[in-house]
Structure 1
Amino acid sequence: MKHLYFILGLILINIAAFAQTGTIKGTINSADGKPAAFVTVGLKDTKKGALTNEEGQFILKNVKQGDYVLVISYTGTKTIHKSVTVSAEQTTDVTLALEATAAQLNEIVVEGTKTSTINKSPVNIGKIPVAAIDLPQGVAIIGHETLEEQQVQRMSDVVKNVNGVYMASSRASTQEAFNARGYAFSSTNMFKNGARVNSGVMPEMSGLEKVEILKGSAAILYGNVAPGAVMNMVTKQPKFNFGGEVNVRTGSYGLLKPSFDVYGPISSKVAYRIDGTFETTDSYRDKVHSKRYYVNPSLLFKLSDRTEIVVQGDYLKHDFTPDFGIGSLDNTKIPDVPRNSFYGTPWQYAHTQQSSAGASIRHKLNDVWTLNGMVSYQHYSRDYYAVERIQADATGKWARPLNRTFNSEEYYLAQVDLNGKFKTGSLEHNVLAGVDGDRYNTKAYTYNQPATYDTINILNPDLYKPRTDIPDAVRIKSVTTPINRIGVYVQDLIKITPKLNVLAGVRFSYLQNEAPATYDYKSGQTTKTAAKYDDAFSPRIGIVYKPIETVAVFASYSNSFTPNTGLNVDSTSLDPSVIDQYEVGVKNDFLKGKLSVNVTAYRIKNSNYAQTAPFQKDGVTPNNNTNLKALIGETLSRGVEVDIAGHPLPGLDVIGGYSYNNITIASSTGLNGSSIKGERLVGNPNHTANANVFYTLQQSALKGVKFGVGYYYIGQRFGGWNNTVNQSQKYNRLISAPGFSTLDLSAGYTFKRISVLAKVSNVTNTYNYYVHENYSINPIPPTQFVGTVSYRF
């Protein structure tokens, strides 16, 4: 077998050696010398092309030697033709300038569209500077044009554009919980500018440049993440040309949201950007209110042609009414009540704050190696007091339980990546080596408050008179839990031939859960439980074959582990989950790269899937402690995804697709209390689909008018709890939520620097639910209106 590999390697090397090719690279600037990003660069009468990055740079590799015409085009500007000569094993450098200034280009973007597709766009989340088509896994990129056109308010609006990722629940409307390919996102899977963020807060959308989602395995790059996908929110970055925008968004139920975004140079070496917003709104739910404040300043220091530093921070404050929706009857049924029915108190509250500060450095050591580093700090806190867990009996009678909590988290991160592009013989390497470390320090307070507030009837509110006073709650304990993590990783994307890439790498992760410290305020005593340590190697291998320039076929395998936090009902630590992921697919570019159509199939096995324990140790008393977990057995997720995105015609933007997922409990001990083999895991639909089409008129007297249609479908799924062998409850614990579709209609107009957008969402007024376990069942919004007026300068 070794001889076979050796012979095969020689054959591949010889094939590459006979290809007499060269490289064209260069920079495209605006008329006033600023970098021109996302300009289309192509070779006439060939299928080769690229987009300039944010520094105006492009590169065309493996170009056969000869004479060519380079075509540089950008929507709304004059196309440039430049003759170039390519020599074997040589690099041809080109520097050109468009006729428009940077300010004019910025205005053109407003009126037109960019021609990037999901396959040709560079992907920050992959940590190596390659296009998505060269990675052996699925990628989704939602750019700022889409975020603006759809007038997204929350992350749940964004993920409607991403097949295989969906909102699974909205517990008390305090946070949005997402699943990917059947597995739950957590704080370990959500990132902002490459740093983890706490998922307990709903992130602000107005400050984002784009959202990147890396589907499948990401453990080698990001450590102890859950399987399915990771999400990276990329904020708006400083620019050296002055500009900005102010806008006001208004809508149904008292929505008012003014925003601003200003950027420009401080000097020839320093640029700034600051954006922010204020939002206030009521709700289609009675007595529910929300108020948000957000600001995001950043500075870019261009220390030299090789070194730049970005320093940024953000602050989000969100005050809102916890809302557990309409609840359940007898833990098995969704009550037939009006969408606006609110069963909380008039005083309950949640005050959430999240602030962060960070700095990143990019230093080009030479033409081969680039060093990227980052440090980040984040603080998160939530002060919460409410009645919760709407679990009424069959007649609607419900004793309202109280819960008072305060949680805070300090998070520190540092990471360094070394990226190198070089050749060994005819093989091209794109090497990534890195180390990262982070520390969580979480603190949770518990209070002595009445267990039950009062009794009401959700089916007949007139039967009882509800209380309105605020009970006293005294702080009695605090639990401090420090967690330390460190990871070392290396991977190499090897271009064996122009058609064949191989990606191989490995990560070593070490996780230390320090002994949690419990402080008793009455006795003044501190007690500690045992510390826990986990470590593992996470290998990854993938292959990409491009039979033609516009088609890539890929396959990959990875193995990783995810530590399971919390304790079981016997107060002992849970074993980590070992995860195997397989993924195959094909990525296609059509219409000269203007439309991408990708198909992916996957298989993910989790050896120890952990959920919040539904009951305490006695098996009867409902568990309200999210730190109390249970391993339900081995789960198996299998599925197929189709992703479509691009700009097939001038002014036409298209995003759409379909996903099928089947995640089941694949094995069980069969003992009392264990999960039932073959049952579908709660929270996951078998089918999702989406389509979003925007068209902007280009040439008529109505130039600048745009229309949009958005469609979203999520299939039948289960809430509640998965059933167990010989469970004490005689009924089926699964709560079936039917599938539903929503339709959105948009229209807008852009004239010079002013634009107006309007949207009517859920046009058909569909009534359905997001179900979290069996106590927070939240109706989806009814038909609503939102409009935005913007001025760019």
Structure 2
Amino acid sequence: MKYLYAVTVLCITLIFSQSVVAQLASAPARGSIKGKVRSNDGKPASYVSIIIVENNRKALSDEDGTFSFNNLKNGTYTLRTSFVGLQVQSQKVTVTENETASVEFILSESSAQLDEVAISGYKSPNQKPATLGKIAIAPRDLPQAVQVIGTQIIADQQANRLGDVMKNVNGVAMGANRGSVGENFYARGYSLGANNVFKNGARTSIGGIPEASTLESVEVLKGSAALLYGGVTGGAVVNMVTKKPKFESGGEVSMRVGSYDMYKPIFDVYGPVSENIAYRMIGSYEKAGSYRDHVQSDRIYVNPSLLYKISEKTDILIQADYLKSDFTPDFGIGTVGNAISPLGRNTFVNTAWAYNKTNTGTLQAVLNQKFNDNWKLNVTAGVQSYIRDYFSSERPFTTDGSWNRALTRSKTRELTYNEQVNLTGNLKTFGISHQLLIGADGDQSKIITGGFTNPNLLGGSTKYYDQVNLLDPASFNIPSNFIKPETTLLTNTEAIVYRFGGFAQDLISLTDKFKVLAGIRWTFQKTPVTTINTLATQQETKGTTALKIDKAFSPKFGLIYQPLKSTSIYASYANNFTSNSGIDIATNAPMGPSIIDQYEAGIKNDFMDGKLSVNVTAYQIRNDRFAQQALFKADGSANADANLKEFTGKTQSDGVEVDITATIVEGLNFIAGYSYNYMRYTETLPLTVIPTPTPANPNATTTVSGIVEGERLVGTTKNTANASLFYTVQNGGLKGLKLGASAFYTGDRNGGRNTNKAGSSSGIIPVKGFTTFDLSAGYTYKRFSILGKISNISNELNYFIHENYSVNPIAPRQFATTLTYKF
């Protein structure tokens, strides 16, 4: 981290000294053009191309409608706008040395009309670069599947949580919602942990369930993204993009109400502070009950941001947000005899006083420096604090209904630092074009976990608080024998993880039709020994787990063939690594990482001038270094220690994904998708009986075995599908009327635990697939709009299951309505 900080300081010093160097340079002075593009209702027009006819130089208007050309010789130039579906405009501009000429284009279309035609121009899903890629490469030029869920879909579907948005991303499915306080997603067979979810490009905590109603977009880069982000699992990375400041005054306030006493005011205000500074302030408050008895949520979210344009080439963006989320932990209805219990959808089996309180705060600074039209530097630094205070009963499962209910008391504090440096450039060598990305990143997380006195006093080696009947709701909360016990904080355990990586990537355009993307990353990850602080004595001791260091190279290589401007065919290889616990029997050192190989091929198509996009992807992900318990020790004797391991297992994930996006007629927006995935173990430990003699029993044995090969991995979903259509009437007496419908299919999946060859695991809990349907209707009149939704109109009943105890029913039929005023 020290080296990364030093590099960053050096980069910033070079940036701010650039103007001084420029003044001392002997090169002749040049002029520049600075302009803005607006729609006819005064709103900024983003992503409009502006071309200088005389030299064919091009620029693209930013989100606030601004653009610029620098380093121009004296003379008169013709500027022309270009945007598919819009009327072309031209203006003459005279450039003088050491001066900046100003120009403004007023388009004949309104901002609403621009939104409707955007899909047919630069904003086609295959053409608009995603910030997730760290460089402005259009998805059609990436040999990897990309999907972006924009602000319009988030608003139309009245999404509240990240999970509401992710239902639109095919290939990504909810695997479980453990305790209803932690959404767990799977992509391409791999669980997306905290390392795979980002906010504005930096790792973020998902412990409080991120707020989605105020997001600008959610970007998903499917498959391996280790080249850009280091130690992430192979399924996907998800980037939540918050809304940015604007140099135009405006905003909106809204009120959302829904079933089970849900009330949620939301506000969004933005505008200029001065000519060079703009702000934005977004916030929401949510208070709601639930279809689950005794379950409540209370959330506060604020997201301030400030943009300072130091010069035409340099700007700084400061972003912060804070989420306070209090939610009743709820482990659903549990299992009896390794099957879903017969309790009703609303039945609450936790204690009446259970609580889960989280506070998440982030602060991020982003420096963007444009050296010239070809080279740019981005420096990002951020910090995040996450605190969780939790007290609840857990794990409701039993064989016959009799449940030894245990309590968990915990408090964790996590502090994470993140920094990135990315240099991007366009250049040519021997007539071949390159889009180059060179970067380095690092982060450090420190987690302090509190250890409390045990609130469970009954039982033998396995303690519990009381005993109830899981099939008898009357026994769950009896005031006389189930009160909240007092607990005392005894220890704080500090665990630190350091990550650092450097990477280089090049998109090489061999011809207009053939392109190659190649890159490599080196990642270093260090996990020191934990430190345990005993509060009573203030003594520090070290944990028993040894220092662990993982180092790995992550290459990526892709071929892209574009026979037409609207079609891109690609094939690629990439890998990532995952860390392993335990001791390697071959080296007597901590296990190294598993290297996971991904092979992907696909085709991306734009039809009807970009009004319809259809992308198809096929992939295979193989882990031929899956760590398993070693059967034999180094001396050849049988091994019964599960901590001694070797790379003898294999897994494989195969799948297909289809993405469809369409805006075929004005006012209509349609997205749909389908995915298939088969994730399983292909090679595991055989059923083996190992002698483990003891003085008391010299004939004692231990049976070890792996998971049954071919069985679908618990948590993964076989098929998913989604479709969402919204249409807004553009003309006539019904102008402003909006109608929408959405359907979401979650296929068959396995709960419980995967079956081992010895038959000693608790076993699979098969869960059938289900489909939910939502209907929406709304109306916009001038600055006011109202939008209502009925979700799960068929009142479908199904469950998300975490292992064999957190069995959470899906939400029943509900309504939500949002009233909005824009200014």
TM-score by structure 2 length? 0.83
Give the alignment partner of residue 452 of structure 1, picking from 457, 464, 478.
464
TM-superposed deviation, 1:628: 14
Contact 1:240 1:271 in 2 (8 A): yes
How is 1:76-475 mapped onto 2 (pairs within 5 angstroms)? 79-82=87-90, 97-99=105-107, 105=111, 115=120, 116-330=123-337, 332-394=338-400, 396-448=401-453, 449-450=455-456, 451-462=463-474, 466=478, 467-475=481-489
2: distance between equivalents of 1:478 and 1:558? 40
Counterpart in 1 of 2:784?
Answer: 754
Q: Secondary structure at the match of 2:364?
A: strand
TM-superposed deviation, 1:519: 2.4
Counterpart in 1 of 2:744?
Answer: 712
1: distance between equivalents of 2:722 and 2:36? 36
Counterpart in 2 of 1:37?
Answer: 46
2: distance between equivalents of 1:74 and 1:589? 14
TM-superposed deviation, 1:560: 2.2
Query: Could you say if the C-alpha distance between residues 175 and 630 of structure 1 is closer, same or farther in structure 2, counting changes exceeding 3 Å?
Result: farther
Give the alignment partner of residue 658 of structure 1, picking from 660, 669, 674.
674
Contact 2:516 2:560 in 1 (8 A): yes
TM-superposed deviation, 1:639: 0.3
Q: Secondary structure at the match of 1:206?
A: coil
TM-superposed deviation, 1:56: 4.2
Q: Secondary structure at the match of 2:407?
A: strand
1: distance between equivalents of 2:495 and 2:809? 35
Counterpart in 2 of 1:493?
Answer: 507
Counterpart in 1 of 2:728?
Answer: 696
AA aligned to 1:634 is K
Give the alignment partner of residue 686 of structure 1, picking from 708, 715, 718.
718
Contact 1:39 1:51 in 2 (8 A): yes
Counterpart in 2 of 1:790?
Answer: 820
Q: Which digits, 9 at most, give the CA deviation of each residue in 1:375-432, with x for residues without a partner?
A: 00000010000011001222x2212111001111000011100001011122110000
Query: Could you say if the C-alpha distance between residues 319 and 710 of structure 1 is closer, same or farther in structure 2, counting changes exceeding 3 Å?
Result: same
Contact 2:332 2:348 in 1 (8 A): yes
Q: Which digits, 9 at most, give the CA deviation of each residue in 1:156-198, with x for residues without a partner?
A: 1111111101111000001101111110001110000000001
Give the alignment partner of residue 606 of structure 1, picking from 623, 628, 633.
623
Contact 1:39 1:74 in 2 (8 A): no
TM-superposed deviation, 1:69: 12
Counterpart in 1 of 2:495?
Answer: 481
1: distance between equivalents of 2:802 and 2:627? 16
1: distance between equivalents of 2:609 and 2:117? 18
Counterpart in 2 of 1:4?
Answer: none
Identity %: 45
Counterpart in 2 of 1:11?
Answer: none
1: distance between equivalents of 2:500 and 2:570? 30
Q: Tell which deviates more after alignment, 275-284 or 732-741.
A: 732-741
Query: Could you say if the C-alpha distance between residues 71 and 370 of structure 1 is closer, same or farther in structure 2, counting changes exceeding 3 Å?
Result: closer
2:578 maps to 1:562: yes
What value does the CA root-mean-square deviation take over the aligned residues?
3.1
Query: Could you say if the C-alpha distance between residues 208 and 605 of structure 1 is closer, same or farther in structure 2, counting changes exceeding 3 Å?
Result: same
TM-superposed deviation, 1:772: 0.5
Counterpart in 1 of 2:799?
Answer: 769
Q: Secondary structure at the match of 1:763?
A: coil
TM-superposed deviation, 1:773: 0.7
TM-superposed deviation, 1:206: 2.5
Q: Secondary structure at the match of 2:610?
A: coil
Who wins on radius of gyration, i.e. which is larger? 2
TM-superposed deviation, 1:471: 0.8
Contact 2:37 2:61 in 1 (8 A): no
1: distance between equivalents of 2:707 and 2:713? 10
Counterpart in 1 of 2:604?
Answer: 587
Q: Secondary structure at the match of 1:220?
A: helix
TM-superposed deviation, 1:676: 1.9
Counterpart in 2 of 1:646?
Answer: 662
Contact 1:489 1:508 in 2 (8 A): yes
AA aligned to 1:436 is D
Counterpart in 2 of 1:738?
Answer: 768
TM-superposed deviation, 1:525: 3.4
1: distance between equivalents of 2:464 and 2:775? 45
Q: Tell which deviates more after alignment, 418-427 or 290-299.
A: 418-427
Query: Could you say if the C-alpha distance between residues 775 and 696 of structure 1 is closer, same or farther in structure 2, counting changes exceeding 3 Å?
Result: same
TM-superposed deviation, 1:34: 7.6
Query: Could you say if the C-alpha distance between residues 305 and 271 of structure 1 is closer, same or farther in structure 2, counting changes exceeding 3 Å?
Result: same
1: distance between equivalents of 2:235 and 2:148? 16
Contact 1:112 1:696 in 2 (8 A): no
Q: Which digits, 9 at most, give the CA deviation of each residue in 1:675-715, with x for residues without a partner?
A: 22222110111111000000111112111101101000011
Query: Could you say if the C-alpha distance between residues 539 and 110 of structure 1 is closer, same or farther in structure 2, counting changes exceeding 3 Å?
Result: closer
Q: Secondary structure at the match of 2:140?
A: helix
TM-superposed deviation, 1:365: 1.4
1: distance between equivalents of 2:420 and 2:89? 43
TM-superposed deviation, 1:478: 2.1
2: distance between equivalents of 1:58 and 1:132? 23
1: distance between equivalents of 2:213 and 2:670? 22
Counterpart in 2 of 1:615?
Answer: none
2: distance between equivalents of 1:235 and 1:225? 22
Counterpart in 2 of 1:3?
Answer: none
Contact 1:69 1:83 in 2 (8 A): yes
TM-superposed deviation, 1:631: 9.4
Contact 2:351 2:476 in 1 (8 A): no
TM-superposed deviation, 1:723: 1.6
Q: Which digits, 9 at most, give the CA deviation of each residue in 1:509-558, with x for residues without a partner?
A: 11111111122345543221421111011111011110001000011101
Instruction: Flag structure 1 segments of 5+ consecutive residues without an equivalent.
Output: 1-24, 44-48, 60-67, 85-92, 613-622
2: distance between equivalents of 1:219 and 1:336? 43
Q: Tell which deviates more after alignment, 199-208 or 687-696.
A: 199-208
AA aligned to 1:176 is E
